[in-house]
């Protein structure tokens, strides 16, 4: 009698920027930057719109459905960290560069500017669908592999005191195939320690350094999976489009008097503040998010073992056009 082969939770996630939308970019575990160093198992969302048939045959049941649109995606988490060389260049990018760009972001390499005096990468919001890039994602689990093309999505940066920042990506894509394929350990993973969110200047709103334990910042893109009769993919979806965005998040600042920072006054007036989130002090391993128009949309009292806090939601708005925030790796 044969022995059943059990699959285990040995996972590998590969992603690569596509040259042409929806055309498999063929990421591989043997190429640097294609493999992503995860901090938790990825989660697949494999959905399908079934066409049901019911009634008309003197039955109280339903006939076998027909398969239709397959709406699918994957969620995964990575640490936000720099590069082992501790210096950026055209050939040395942040480890999560490709998946960041597929969240509706431009990528720019600058040698020196108002943000940093050393080489750094900037990610800023794109201004139209034609500027958005996409990625091919292979989600591999112990020999079983799901492949997505044309993937776009969101990133949620999760900050916690004295911990590395986590980038949680949620992508939707065109599910094309499942394969059984053997892979080995990937190459090119960063080996350095991710920076931790601690020390002076870790968060500034205006000029006030606020004591905060938890904060998140989400690109909050609206993702539309467009069904169409002309779709060429097996999913029945023509493409995945970012139609709009409302970047923002939440945080839990320590309650304070208005002389330090007038939370309720800012909430009442919907006035914008400059927000700067900094993580890391070593060149090549620094991460920063800046918004010049952060508006507090909800302020509620909270309690943390007797310490009063404000449970606050915020959104980052434009000053001119598509300039809600800047993400820096420096």
| pLDDT per residue as tens digits for the range 265-320 | 888 888 889 999 999 999 999 999 999 999 999 999 999 999 999 999 999 999 98
Pick from 309, 274, 270, 312: nearest CA to 293: 274
Mean pLDDT computed over 183-191? 89
- Structure confidence at residue 65 (pLDDT): 85
Instruction: Please report whether residue 4 resides in a domain.
Output: no
Residue 118: partners with Cβ closer than 8 Å, 6 or more residues away: 87, 111, 112, 283, 330
Instruction: Please report whether residue 61 resides in a domain.
Output: no
Residue 235: partners with Cβ closer than 8 Å, 6 or more residues away: 69, 70, 71, 72, 174, 175, 176
pLDDT at 54 over 90: no
The structural domain count of the chain equals: 1
How deeply is 75 buried, as exposed, middle or buried, from its count of CB atoms within 10 A (0-12, 13-18, 19+)?
middle
Check residues 169 and 118 and name the one with the higher pLDDT: 169
Instruction: Please report whether residue 1 resides in a domain.
Output: no
Measured distance CA(166)–CA(96) in Å, rounded: 11
Task: Give the pLDDT band (50/70/90) at residue 46.
Answer: very high
Are 123 and 101 contacting, i.e. CB atoms less than 8 angstroms apart?
A: yes
Instruction: Please report whether residue 162 resides in a domain.
Output: yes
**pLDDT tens, residue by residue, 65-101:** 888 888 999 999 999 999 988 899 999 999 999 999 9
Instruction: Please report whether residue 54 resides in a domain.
Output: no
Mean pLDDT computed over 218-223? 98
Backbone φ, ψ for residue 319 (5° rounding):
-100, -40
Instruction: Please report whether residue 5 resides in a domain.
Output: no
- Structure confidence at residue 1 (pLDDT): 46
Rounded to the nearest integer, the mean pLDDT of the chain is 91
Task: Give the pLDDT band (50/70/90) at residue 231.
Answer: confident
Residue 73: partners with Cβ closer than 8 Å, 6 or more residues away: 44, 45, 148, 151, 153, 170, 171, 172, 173
Using a CB cutoff of 8 Å and minimum separation of 24, what contacts does 37-42 make?
A: 37/78, 37/79, 37/95, 37/189, 37/190, 38/11, 38/13, 38/76, 38/77, 38/78, 39/77, 39/78, 39/79, 39/166, 40/76, 40/77, 41/9, 41/11, 42/11, 42/13, 42/74, 42/75, 42/76, 42/139
How deeply is 214 buried, as exposed, middle or buried, from its count of CB atoms within 10 A (0-12, 13-18, 19+)?
middle
Are 324 and 301 contacting, i.e. CB atoms less than 8 angstroms apart?
A: no
Mean pLDDT computed over 34-46? 95
Instruction: Please report whether residue 6 resides in a domain.
Output: no
Measured distance CA(132)–CA(245) in Å, rounded: 13
Domain residue limits at 177: 11-49+66-329
For 133-286, list the strands marked E by DSSP.
135-141, 144-160, 166-180, 203-205, 212-218, 221-227, 237-245, 248-253, 273-279
Are 276 and 265 contacting, i.e. CB atoms less than 8 angstroms apart?
A: no
Q: What percent of the chain has pLDDT over 70?
A: 97
Measured distance CA(35)–CA(188) in Å, rounded: 7
The length of the chain in residues reads 330
- Structure confidence at residue 256 (pLDDT): 87
pLDDT at 3 over 70: no
Q: Which residue has the tokens 């005191």?
A: 161
- Structure confidence at residue 5 (pLDDT): 53
Instruction: Please report whether residue 247 resides in a domain.
Output: yes
- Structure confidence at residue 6 (pLDDT): 56
């Amino acid at each position: 009698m044969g022995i059943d082969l059990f699959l285990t939770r040995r996972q590998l996630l590969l992603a690569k920027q596509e040259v042409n939308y929806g055309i498999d970019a063929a990421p591989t575990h043997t190429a640097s930057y294609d493999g992503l160093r995860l901090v938790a198992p990825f989660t697949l969302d494999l959905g399908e719109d079934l066409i049901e048939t019911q009634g008309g045959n003197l039955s109280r049941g339903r006939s076998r459905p027909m398969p239709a649109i397959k709406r699918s995606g994957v969620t995964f988490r990575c640490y936000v960290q720099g590069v082992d060389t501790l210096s950026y260049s055209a050939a040395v990018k942040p480890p999560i560069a490709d998946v960041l760009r597929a969240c509706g972001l431009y990528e720019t390499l600058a040698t020196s500017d108002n943000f940093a005096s050393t080489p750094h990468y900037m990610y800023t919001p794109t201004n139209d669908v034609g500027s958005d890039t996409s990625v091919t994602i292979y989600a591999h689990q112990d020999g079983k592999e799901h492949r997505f093309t044309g993937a776009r999505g969101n990133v949620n940066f999760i900050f916690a005191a004295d911990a590395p920042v986590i980038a949680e990506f949620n992508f939707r894509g065109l599910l094309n195939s499942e394969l059984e394929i053997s892979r080995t350990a990937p190459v090119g993973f960063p080996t350095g320690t991710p920076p931790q969110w601690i020390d002076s200047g870790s968060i500034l709103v205006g000029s006030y350094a606020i004591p905060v334990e938890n904060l998140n910042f989400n690109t909050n893109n609206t993702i539309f999976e467009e069904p169409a009769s002309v779709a060429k993919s097996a999913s029945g979806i023509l493409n995945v489009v970012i139609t709009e965005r409302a970047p923002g998040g939440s945080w839990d600042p320590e309650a304070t008097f208005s002389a330090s920072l007038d939370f309720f006054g800012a909430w009442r007036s919907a006035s914008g503040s400059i927000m700067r989130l900094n993580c890391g002090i070593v060149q090549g391993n620094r991460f920063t998010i800046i918004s010049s128009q952060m508006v507090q949309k909800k302020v509620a009292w909270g309690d943390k073992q007797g310490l009063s806090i404000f449970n606050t939601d915020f959104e980052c708005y434009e000053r001119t056009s598509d300039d809600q925030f800047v993400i820096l790796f420096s």
